[in-house]
């Protein structure tokens, strides 16, 4: 079993997470080690359905915790957020909701959020 780690650093570029160098030796080693978990290098239908259900729960949670325009993911996992989509991930409300809802998507970029800063009196 491979016990390596991928560390995601960086920030956001056009509301996409950045900082993973998919050409790095570390990334390629982890991808090779995990390939056996994804036949043909792609998630199975069961894995895709499980991920879709988790993202739907996450989206519902985000909406119920103060981010009313948070969209449901499209089939295949596409999810568009950002100011133009009416969902600003830089707001304290978004960060607080994300902190509460991350339990539905462990291991995803949404679960790696930092806690929201305390409100200013």
Residue-range domain boundaries for the chain: 1-42, 46-113
Q: Please report, for residues 57, 75, 111, the alpha-carbon distance to residue 37 in angstroms, rounded to integers and kept in the order given.
A: 24, 21, 21
Q: What is the pTM of this model?
A: 0.59
Chain segment 18-50, per-residue pLDDT in tens: 456 677 787 778 777 777 776 666 777 888 888
Secondary structure string (H, E, C) spanning 37-93: HCHHHCCCHHHHHHHHHHHHHHHHHHHHCCCCCCCCCCCCCCCCCEHHHCECCCCHH
Chain segment 44-98, per-residue pLDDT in tens: 788 888 888 989 999 999 999 999 999 998 876 677 788 888 899 889 999 999 9
């Amino acid at each position: 079993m491979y016990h390596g780690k991928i560390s995601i650093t960086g920030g956001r570029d056009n509301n996409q997470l950045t900082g993973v160098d998919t050409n790095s030796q570390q990334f390629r080693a982890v991808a090779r080690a995990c390939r056996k978990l994804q036949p043909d290098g792609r998630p199975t239908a069961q894995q895709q359905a499980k991920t879709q259900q988790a993202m739907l729960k996450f989206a519902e949670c985000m909406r119920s915790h103060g981010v009313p325009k948070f969209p449901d993911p499209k089939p295949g996992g596409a999810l568009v957020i950002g100011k133009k989509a009416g969902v600003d991930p830089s707001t304290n409300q978004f960060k607080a909701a994300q902190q509460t809802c991350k339990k539905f998507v462990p291991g995803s970029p949404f679960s790696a959020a930092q806690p929201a800063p305390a409100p200013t009196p």
